[in-house]
Chain A
Amino acid sequence: DGGITQSPKYLFRKEGQNVTLSCEQNLNHDAMYWYRQDPGQGLRLIYYSQIVNDFQKGDIAEGYSVSREKKESFPLTVTSAQKNPTAFYLCASSSGASGNSYEQYFGPGTRLTVT
């Protein structure tokens, strides 16, 4: 059963702690993405990766970091430098440059609450 998994579904952290959100896909997609969703603001791109061992900043990368060591995995670290980290985080993937299709497939999301 192909798809994207994100874990955990809910995550609680104290202010000042770094936290890593997991994203795994078994769709054999080249490209992966991280979005942040806040009420009334749609989805904002944090980081994206079009190929293993390479990634680019999106529109709101400050306070976040990523790695792409394996094709199927794209973890996101929310660092203590992120001023307002409480949000719903969505991971997505697409066939990328190897395909002609531009649609992205989304995971179920992780809701992060920092207090």
Chain B
Amino acid sequence: EDKVVQSPLSLVVHEGDTVTLNCSYEVTNFRSLLWYKQEKKAPTFLFMLTSSGIEKKSGRLSSILDKKELFSILNITATQTGDSAVYLCAVETNRDDKIIFGKGTRLHILP
């Protein structure tokens, strides 16, 4: 059965800290790995990763994929209170264009 596992499930840090969120997966017909940020209700897209070892970066956020070890990390440097959200990892499969989500990591940034 395809699955996506995120850790930790929740994390509380102080503003300015750097955090690393983890995502491991076991899926057949892997196509890509996706990261989303969910603040209120609708997840918003952050990154899509398809190749191992190539870092994607957007401001203070960066992510990398390891297709051999089947995991990805999302790094946030110099965290701000506005980074408080649930971060969802998902894997896209070639079968039926399906996305499988992990449970998410709830990140809370203390001022």
* A and B are partners in one complex rather than unrelated chains: no
Q: Give B contacts to A, CB under 8 Å.
A: none
